[in-house]
Structure 1
């Protein structure tokens, strides 16, 4: 997790520049691993949004939140708007609760690098 704040879009671009993407939570265990890395941060951007269809949250890999495996919202969330601003981008707090937030707020964020196994040829 970079120690800087960015908009959701800038955070997404930063992660892509690092050959990763905004983190997608697939389980409570993943949240607990992130929590150990960044205790006390408050809300931070992760990889989900409803930019294409209001209320239909998908991950940056185009899965629904339920398909991804982690659907643990703050009470009363998602709300869609706050103080007249559309809340389309995903955040999570230090307790593992998801929130929809204005994409142009600046928050810390978590990138996730996908593990891609490679073949090893030992006959060379």
Structure 2
């Protein structure tokens, strides 16, 4: 296979609970190449959602490095929030656990709206605003 579209090296993330630091992910490394699939499984509270939030830049990592589609992010880095937002806008699709649909729109129109807001041609002449 070619170079990874997703590469994670030494990823660590923890939270403060009371006065104690709780490690959720510790020194995680993985890679996924084009055409490969990855399933993240585990019991409730094992860090699945935290990992996914880190992989799309919705949370900051404590240590390590994440590379997505050629963009590399470390635990510290200037402009990381802006770079993550741009990467999400043009490359990453995120489906949240909680429904974030506009109830007045059909499912297809909800998808078209998000595509329109991301600057993509939806192929329709629908007025969104």
Same fold (TM over 0.5): no
TM-score by length of structure 1 reads: 0.23
Q: Which has the higher contact order (CA 8 A, sep 6+)?
A: 1
Identify, as 1 or 2, the structure richer in strand.
2
> TM-score, length-normalised on structure 2?
0.22
* Bigger-Rg structure (1/2): 2
